[in-house]
Structure 1
Amino acid sequence: MYIICRHSPLTYDINFSTQECLRCEWQELTELIKISSTTPITSRLARLLLHGLNQGFDKIDLAMEELPAVYSGRFYQLYHRVLPPALKH
């Protein structure tokens, strides 16, 4: 499962593990889309994010609904496409 989170960084300094990465840098989405060596999933994610920035993230996001579990005090998170109000019971 690939999960995208949109956050604002506290700093633009990058401190990465050289044991896990060869290189790490910030990229503009428009530039990331053009790089031929980008993996297919990274290219698709960059295109989705750029579409969300331009058209609104409601066009690409999944809704999250928190529902009570059978165990007292516990909850499940259900991710799905936005449903019409009549289907939310």
Structure 2
Amino acid sequence: MPISFPSCVPEYCARDLVLAFPALVDDRPVQCAITAEALEDHFGARSLREDDLVNAFLAHRFQIEQAARLLLGEVGAKPVLLHSGFFRFCT
């Protein structure tokens, strides 16, 4: 199952406090997201401000996409949400 990530800027969702980013699984778009808490706890986001979250995501994009790839490999072409707790166990 080929999984790739288009190189676009993630989308901030203030209501859910997440950054959403796309993946392509078998050439089908799948929504991925990472919580603001995970970005603060594990990737150095300085605050919940959109700029700080996006900067942390971009600085650690490879690790975040690898984590999403791991989960997508488990669940298939279904949306995934990366929580802080996931990174406690996978690092």
Shorter-chain-normalised TM-score: which range?
A: under 0.3
TM-score (norm 2): 0.25
- If each structure's strand is expressed as a fraction of its own residues, which one has the higher value? 2
Q: Relative contact order (alpha carbons < 8 A, sep ≥ 6): 1 or 2 greater? A: 2
> Normalising by the residue count of structure 1, what TM-score does the alignment of the two structures yield?
0.25
Larger radius of gyration: 1
Q: Specify which structure has the higher proportion of helix.
A: 2
